[in-house]
């Protein structure tokens, strides 16, 4: 899946271990996206949300609908606020991702890792179920 990008826009890419680009989407400075998946035990959606900020991929917030296994707020890392529905957001994490990229072992369709950009959801599990991928923010050559 690919969309044309302007020469000055960064690209949010998902790349397989063989180097194949599975997803390539333009992401202008200041725009954001989330990685969403279903919690492996409880099944509810969890979100990690990023923003293209000053040429960096920055983790800005996470949504956790419950204090289920492995889901908790680390004191000193962002600010926990209620989502009004029994879950919570961790706001103001503001952690740059080293090298503008991270590796992810994509889960099964039950977990359904997906990219969320505006109203678009792209299932990474349907593209690379149980495989390792790299999610990266690739900058234009002039940055």
pLDDT tens-digit map of 106-134: 999 999 999 999 989 999 999 999 999 99
Cβ atoms of 26 and 5 within 8 Å: the answer is: yes
Tokens of 35: 């990685």
pTM summary value: 0.86
H or E stretch covering 126: helix 124-128
pLDDT digits (tens, 9 = 90+) for 6-61: 556 899 999 999 999 999 999 999 999 999 999 877 778 899 999 999 999 999 99
Query: Is 57 exposed, middle or buried, given 0-12, 13-18 or 19+ CB atoms closer than 10 A?
Result: buried
- The alpha-carbon radius of gyration of the chain (Å, integer) is 15
| DSSP code of residue 32 | E
């Amino acid at each position: 899946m690919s969309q044309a990008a302007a020469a000055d826009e960064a690209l949010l890419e998902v790349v397989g271990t063989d180097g194949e680009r599975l997803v390539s989407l333009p992401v202008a400075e200041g725009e954001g996206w989330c990685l969403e998946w279903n919690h492996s035990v409880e099944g509810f959606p969890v979100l990690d949300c990023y923003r293209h900020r000053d040429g960096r991929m920055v983790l800005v917030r996470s949504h956790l609908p419950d204090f289920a296994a492995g889901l908790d707020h680390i004191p000193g890392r962002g600010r926990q606020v209620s989502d009004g529905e029994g879950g919570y957001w961790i706001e103001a994490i503001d952690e740059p991702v080293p090298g503008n990229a991270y590796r992810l072992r994509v889960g099964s369709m039950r977990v359904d890792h997906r990219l969320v950009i505006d109203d678009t959801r792209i299932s990474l599990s349907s593209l690379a179920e149980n495989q390792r991928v790299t999610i990266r923010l690739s900058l234009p050559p002039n940055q």
